[in-house]
Amino acid sequence: MNEGVEWATHTCLNLAWLGDERAVPAARLAAFYELPAAYLNKQLQALARAGILTSVSGPRGGFRLAKAPDQVTLMDVVTAIDGPDPAFRCTEIRLRGGSSSGTTRYRTPCAIDTAMRKAELAWRRELAAQTLADVMTTVEATNPGVPDKVRRWFDDTH
C-alpha cells in the first residue's frame, strides 16, 4: 500500500482535533511529523479532490476537514490516496493461449477473481466500518493527553 496513506490518516486526525475553525498550511502539517512538505501537499490535494478536506489558498489558507470526523471512514482516506482500483486485478488469462482458443465461452466470471474480490470486500467493509471519530476515541482512551498536546503544538509559532 502507498506510504502516503499513513501520513494522510495521521494528518486527518490532527485536523480533526484542531477543529474546522481555521485552516492549516501543508507545510505546518508536514513539520509536525518532519515530513517532506511538498510531497504531503500532494496527498492533501488528493484528499481535497475526494471531498475529505477543503483547501483555501492565500495567506491564512491551508487545509481543514470538510466533514465531521464521524462522517469520514478509513476507507474514504485509503481510496483517496491509494486509488479506487482493487489490489487484485483479473486479466482474464483463462481466455489466452491454446486452452480456450475459440472453443469454450466462459459465461461466468473467473472463480479466482471472485474469491479474491470476496476477500477484498471484507477488507473494504472493515475499513468502511471505522471512522476518524472511532480512531479519535481510541486514542483519547489510551493517551488522553494527546489531543491537547496537538492543539498546543499547532497554536505555538515555530
Partner DNA sequence: GGCAAACTACTCGGATATCCGGTGTCCGAGTCATCATGG
Partner DNA sequence: CCATGATGACTCGGACACCGGATATCCGAGTAGTTTGCC
- The reply on whether position 116 binds DNA by CB under 7 A is no
CB of residue 137 to DNA, shortest distance in Å: 27
Here the cell at position 53 is 478536506
- Cα separation, 92 vs 3, whole angstroms: 29
91 contact choice in DNA, a second copy, none (CB below 5 to 8 Å, kind-dependent): a second copy
99 contact choice in DNA, a second copy, none (CB below 5 to 8 Å, kind-dependent): a second copy
**Subset of residues 65 to 124 that bind a second copy, contact rule: CB under 8 A:** 74, 87-91, 93-94, 96-99, 103-104, 106-108, 111-112, 114-116, 118-120, 122-124
CB of residue 96 to DNA, shortest distance in Å: 13
For residue 149, how far is the Cα from the chain centroid?
24
- Cα separation, 119 vs 156, whole angstroms: 45
**Subset of residues 6 to 65 that bind DNA, contact rule: CB under 7 A:** 23, 25-27, 36, 38-39, 41-42, 44-45, 48-49, 55-63
Computed from CA positions of residues 76, 79, 82, 83, in that sequence, does the dihedral angle turn out positive or negative? Answer: negative
- Cα separation, 85 vs 83, whole angstroms: 6
